[in-house]
Amino acid sequence: KQEVTQIPAALSVPEGENLVLNCSFTDSAIYNLQWFRQDPGKGLTSLLLIQSSQREQTSGRLNASLDKSSGRSTLYIAASQPGDSATYLCAVSLSSGSARQLTFGSGTQLTVLP
Amino acid sequence: DAGVIQSPRHEVTEMGQEVTLRCKPISGHDYLFWYRQTMMRGLELLIYFNNNVPIDDSGMPEDRFSAKMPNASFSTLKIQPSEPRDSAVYFCASSPAGGGYGYTFGSGTRLTVV
């Protein structure tokens, strides 16, 4: 059974700092990995999607990397801003069959202090 | 496209009552997923459909839960009878065939059973 772990569970940084969020998964036979952002009381917003054949994806100040063999992904946020404060979730979908359900980590709650 | 649309946004009901949650997926998406989010258990997959057919309902907690997808543009999740431990945020998500483009989540329905 696929298990997804995110470390740290919570992180507080001063504005302007670069930071890295970590995600690890136990089954390397993934189809893709997706990073989401969730604001308090809100739904999930997709940030980046990395296919299993890719090593990284970038969107603005965000960069996500994937090392499938070691079962790890990182989300790098450059020049953090108070508006980046949210919970960040990573999720993987497995390669087997036609199943595309996601297995989520428990998230990292990020607070960027002004 | 307006994205995945869920209704209602909030639902407060008394224990024992029937609750119906609704979801309209993105047009053209072949997969539809129902997730539940709680503080204790995070995001859990309840059931998913492919081309309106239920594929895996192993995450449905009890017989009190049922889901239907009568057509490609509508799905319901029903709880009958509802219990306080069903209180959670219920998310609907959809994905194109193959899943290569990732998932889009709705804003969720916050259910409170008193």
pLDDT in tens, A76-99: 999 999 999 999 999 998 766 555
- pLDDT, residue A29, reads 86
> Of B43, B56, B105, which has the smallest distance from its Cβ to A99's Cβ?
B56
Reduced to 3 states (helix: H, G, I; strand: E, B; else coil), residue B56 is strand
> Of A42, A51, A103, which has the smallest distance from its Cβ to B100's Cβ?
A51
Test B103 with A46 for CB contact under 8 angstroms. Answer: yes
Closest CA to A36 of A88, A105, A92: A88
Q: Which residue has the tokens 């995600």?
A: A23
- Per residue in B21-48, pLDDT (tens digit) is 999 999 999 999 999 999 888 999 999 9
- pLDDT, residue B103, reads 84
> Of A102, A106, A107, which has the smallest distance from its Cβ to B103's Cβ?
A102
Residues of chain B positioned with their CB less than 8 A from the CB of A107: 42
Q: Are B1 and B27 in contact (CB under 8 A)?
A: yes
- pLDDT, residue B1, reads 65
- pLDDT, residue B98, reads 61
Residues of chain B positioned with their CB less than 8 A from the CB of A3: none
| Nearest-by-CA chain B residue for A96 | B98
Q: Are A57 and A48 in contact (CB under 8 A)?
A: yes
- pLDDT, residue B11, reads 97
- pLDDT, residue A28, reads 87
> What angle (nearest 5°) sits at the alpha carbon of residue B20, between those of residues B83 and A89?
80
B39 close to A (CB below 8 A): no
> How many Å apart are CA B103 and CA A17, to the nearest integer?
30
Helix, strand, coil percentages in chain A from 3-state DSSP, rounded to 5: 5, 60, 40
- Per residue in A17-72, pLDDT (tens digit) is 999 999 999 988 888 899 999 998 888 999 999 988 999 999 999 999 999 999 99
- Structure letter (DSSP) for residue B48: E
Q: How far is CA B82 from the centre of its chain?
A: 15
Helix H or strand E segment including B70: strand B65-71
Predicted confidence band of residue B62 (pLDDT cuts 50, 70, 90): confident
Do strands A19-25 and A44-51 pair parallel, antiparallel, or not at all (unpaired)? unpaired
- pLDDT, residue B110, reads 96
Structure token pair of residue A42:
């809100």
Give Cα separations from A3 to A26, B11, B16, B30 (angstroms): 6, 31, 34, 26
